Amino acid sequence: MNPPGPEPERDTLALRRGQPEGPLLSAALVAGLLVAAASAVAEPAAVRGVAEVLDGRRMTVAGQEIVLADIEVPALGTPCRIRGNPLDCGRLARAGLMDIVAGGEVECSPVGTGGHRCFASGYDVAFGLVHGGWAVPAENAPAHYRRKMTEAKERGRGLWSAQP
């Protein structure tokens, strides 16, 4: 039974086309916009696999080149002297990264602009390089990276045992 009074106006053109009207149309538009916005800001997926080390801070994981975030390492070919012997500190940093990721999978998630935070058996790979003295924290690195660098420096680990 219809209530007494005039019938509400209807958009007969929309009804003839089979299109929803009024609040139903608004709800459908809002839902569509929310889905589009959510997919536009979705975080890139983590990458997992065996790492192939390229240099002291780059590796390939599952076919994707990964750059470790928050650290700086010497480039391949950077000369240094350790215990009086001339060495390539870039190669030593690469060897340090190989030691950390050897024998298992790593999982890397994108952080910031272009870098990744990677873990090998739950261990923060970049932090491990700082601990070993093969990397220094970047300007925006977490505070615990800086504390670990101070310790590595005091104990003469890795690059901190080198002379120019």
When pLDDT is cut at 50, 70 and 90, the band that residue 50 belongs to is very high
Would you state the structure tokens that stand for residue 141, as one six-digit string? 């690195």
Q: Could you tell me where in the chain the CATH 2.40.50.90 domains are found?
A: 47-163
pLDDT at 3: 53
The residues facing 86 across adjacent strands are 81
CATH architecture classification, 47-163: Beta Barrel (2.40)
The CA distance from 130 to 124, in Å, is 10
DSSP code of residue 159? G
Residue 137, C-beta contacts closer than 8 angstroms, at least 6 positions apart: 70, 71, 72, 130, 145, 146, 149
When pLDDT is cut at 50, 70 and 90, the band that residue 83 belongs to is confident
Would you state the structure tokens that stand for residue 14, as one six-digit string? 């929309």
Q: Are strands 123-124 and 136-137 parallel, antiparallel or unpaired?
A: unpaired
pLDDT at 25: 44
Give the chain's mean pLDDT.
82
Would you state the structure tokens that stand for residue 77, as one six-digit string? 């070919």
163/3: higher pLDDT: 163
pLDDT at 15: 40
Instruction: Supply φ then ψ for residue 69, to 5 degrees.
Output: -80, 155
pLDDT at 164: 61
Interval 99-152: pLDDT, tens: 999 988 999 999 987 799 999 999 999 999 999 999 999 998 999 999 999 999
Would you state the structure tokens that stand for residue 19, as one six-digit string? 């299109």
Q: What pTM did the predictor assign?
A: 0.72
